[in-house]
Amino acid sequence: MSDAYLALEDGRVVEARGRVPGRTRGELVFTTAYTGYEESLTDPSYEEQVLTFSYPLIGNYGVRSERFESDRVHPRAAIAREFTEDVVEWLNEEGVPAIDHLDTRELVTSIREEGAMRCGLAVGPDATPEDAKAELDACQGMSEHVDIGAQVSVDEPTVYEGGSAATVALIDCGAKGSITESLLERDATVHVLPYDATPADVAAVDPDLLFISNGPGDPENFEAAEALVEEFVGDLPVAGICLGQQVVANALGGSTEKMAFGHRGVNQPVRDLETDRVVMTTQNHGYTVGEPGDRLSVTQVNVNDGTAEGLENEELGVITRQYHPEAHPGPNDSLDFFDDVLDLVSTDTPVATSD
């Protein structure tokens, strides 16, 4: 007899083995990564989602906190064909429901065909299909989480002393720790500011660079970060990763849209339009830039579907990436993005005004 039930938006209820008990709900998504489960589970971009691993065995090299991207597990629940005891123990400590012993190949195929969908999960000896359906009924769409930034951002400004290469104001919309580490490795000092920081908060830091981080949910719900880009573009170089690219695009006259099932995994090929070079990238996003607008140029595209992976405005000093150049997990092909970002600060050419 099953002790776990997954109710899906398409009407199905999937039975499974419960590994960590609980009741929860969220948007059902998947990742194709077969390593890096610690990084994925601690990625703030998975907030309010239920993460399915397409690789069948999760946990075969243990759990080490030095690989974490934040201080907690962010998905509402975790699903795999099989979890090892190490991962189950970790998720139990975190209070995150987990299930396995179900056909994750079929589940991933459903998402690929029908798109990311709302789901409800009930796990435990007393769980019933009706419990899972009740969770599903209460589940909101991602765009309805209008203040999701508050769930993943720092509450107060935090300073990471690096060096004198640059002073970076990193707007924390759900930033992975590896972004800060990548900047520190390049001798920058990083001021991590809350997702709802004001222009005055940024000005108080006196930064050389404004950096909008990755994060969960609909970029249109990050109005404060968008306002910062509008305020400082032309006066400061501006960079963004993942959600950050989408926020920058919205701020500069572009538009964003929800994808069917998003890009998630470490095997996403991206082509640079200038060099024609293709790199493999780590990605985790459900929204994308639909139209870049008149002030941004698309410099890189996804080989599989042609969506925008890089935006730039050389005159204004703007550079963004849709993927995660800091990797962790994933290929290191695109680490030079951080060198390009800091080059915006060190250039002798003054940045143009936005007027």
**For this structure, is 242 an active site residue?**
yes
Round to whole Å and give the CA distance between 47 and 221: 14
Contact 157, 147 (CB under 8 A): no
Residue 49 labelled as part of a binding site:
no
User: What are the Cα distances from residue 152, in Å, to 39, 247, 278, 326?
Assistant: 15, 16, 32, 19
Residue 246 annotated as binding site: yes
Query: Active site includes 326?
Result: yes
243 annotated as ligand-binding = yes
Q: What are phi and psi of 62, to 5 degrees?
A: 80, -165
Residue 286 annotated as binding site:
yes
Kindly name the residue from 119, 139, 173, 242 that is annotated as catalytic. Answer: 242
In degrees rounded to 5, what are phi and psi of residue 245?
-65, -40
In degrees and rounded to multiples of 5, residue 37 shows phi and psi of -65, -30
- Does residue 119 carry a catalytic annotation? no
Structure tokens at 146: 């209008």
The response to whether 45 counts as a known ligand-binding position is yes
Q: Which of 119, 173, 326, 328 is catalytic?
A: 326
Residue 217 is labelled as binding a ligand: yes
Enter the tokens of residue 137. 């009924």
Catalytic option among 191, 263, 285, 324: 324
Contact partners, residue 229, CB within 8 Å, separation at least 6: 210, 212, 238, 247, 248, 251, 252
Binding residue ranges for L-glutamine = 45, 215, 217, 243, 246, 284, 286-287
As annotated, the active-site residues are 242, 324, 326
Binding residue ranges = 45, 215, 217, 243, 246, 284, 286-287
